[in-house]
Amino acid sequence: MENLNIRPEDVPASFLLCFHPSCPRRTDCLRHVAGEAADRVRDHGACVFPSALTADGQCRFFRPVRTIRSAWGFRPLFDRVRHEDYALLRMQVMLLFGSRSRFFRYNRGDYRLTPEQQEQVLDIFRRQGYDTAEFRFEYYEDVIDFVGER
């Protein structure tokens, strides 16, 4: 397990928490570690019940504690493209996120791109013929991997 200091405000409100005191994987599970942090300030929320733990010590809700390198800000990417490709590439990146508003939220940093999403964005530029080896997003930050949970 990584040694992370999870603050209560880091834990997304919808993230499933675990409070099972005798789970053999509790120190390595983000749900349990996040539960300990959130327990200091929350009085209710969604949680994993002890019955999720099987006789062999496994839990289908187990989530390893780890950090990821998140990114946001598209300006440096679009600064590297030819003028005639700009509108098409921008539209394709917007479509990747499903809407213009989500595109702008990822651009501003309201939402952070996972490493997988970063690759999906760069793939759009590659398909248009760009070598993305030197392409960088505007900002990067190592964050706790609560991906898929908002």
Q: Which residues pair with 18 in a beta bridge?
A: 48
The confidence score (pLDDT) of residue 130 equals: 97
Instruction: Mark the ranges of the chain whose per-residue pLDDT is less than 50.
Output: 1, 148-150
The confidence score (pLDDT) of residue 35 equals: 93
Same domain, 23 and 73: no
Whether pTM > 0.85 for this model: the answer is no
Same domain, 3 and 61: yes
Domain that holds residue 9: 1-65
Q: How many CB atoms lie within 10 A of CB 73?
A: 16
d(CA 46, CA 71): 28
Q: Is 3 exposed, middle or buried (0-12, 13-18, 19+ CB in 10 A)?
A: exposed
Same domain, 44 and 104: no
69 by DSSP, 3-state: which? strand
d(CA 122, CA 31): 31
Q: Is residue 86 part of a domain?
A: yes
Tell me which of 65, 87, 116 is where a domain ends.
65
Q: Is residue 11 part of a domain?
A: yes
Q: Which candidate, 65, 49, 61, places its Cα nearest to that of 10?
A: 65
Structure tokens at 11: 């834990």
Same domain, 78 and 131: yes
Same domain, 83 and 53: no
Give per-residue pLDDT as tens, 48-60.
999 999 989 899 9
Q: How many domains does the chain have?
A: 2
d(CA 149, CA 52): 19
Same domain, 72 and 53: no
